[in-house]
Amino acid sequence: MAHSATVEAGDSPAYQNKLLGLLGDRDPIEVMSKTPVFIRRVVAENAVRRFGGFLAVEIWESALIAKNEGGVTRPPSFLLHYDAGSFQKTLLEEFQAALSEVSVMQEHAKVTLAPAKTIAPSGRNPILEPFDRSLLLGIEIDPIYLSSIKKNLYPLVLLEFAKSFGVALKRLFFAYASAETRGDIPSDSGRGEQRWRNH
Can you spell out the DSSP letters for 101-120? T-EETTEEPEEEEEE-SS-S
**Residue 198 reports pLDDT greater than 80:** no
Going by the DSSP 8-state scheme, the letter that residue 149 receives in this structure is T
Please state the domain extents for the chain.
1-51, 56-197
Rounded CA Rg of the chain:
21
161 pLDDT tier (thresholds 50, 70, 90): very high
Where is mean pLDDT largest: 13-17, 37-41, 129-133? 37-41
H/E element holding 84?
none
Q: Are 144 and 72 in contact (CB under 8 A)?
A: yes
11 pLDDT tier (thresholds 50, 70, 90): low
What value does the mean pLDDT take over residues 96-120? 93
pLDDT of residue 123: 87
State which CATH number among 3.40.630, 1.10.8, 1.10.287, 1.10.3470 fits the domain covering 56-197.
Answer: 3.40.630
Going by the DSSP 8-state scheme, the letter that residue 198 receives in this structure is T
Share the mean pLDDT of the chain: 80
Per the model's pLDDT, the better-predicted residue between 19 and 162 turns out to be: 162
Q: Which residues contact 158 (CB under 8 A, 6 or more apart)?
A: 145
Q: Could you report the per-residue pLDDT of 26-75, keeping only the tens digit for each?
A: 787 887 877 888 888 888 888 888 888 899 999 999 976 555 544 556 88
Q: Which residues contact 65 (CB under 8 A, 6 or more apart)?
A: 142, 143, 146, 148
4 pLDDT tier (thresholds 50, 70, 90): very low
Distance CA 109, CA 113 (A): 13
3 pLDDT tier (thresholds 50, 70, 90): very low
**Residue 18 reports pLDDT greater than 80:** no
H/E element holding 7?
none
Of 19-28, 80-89, 113-122, 126-135, give the lowest mean pLDDT range: 19-28
Q: Could you report the per-residue pLDDT of 82-100, keeping only the tens digit for each?
A: 988 888 888 899 999 999 9
**Residue 195 reports pLDDT greater than 70:** no
The arrangement of strands across the sheet holding 134-141 comes to: 54-61, 134-141, 77-82, 110-115
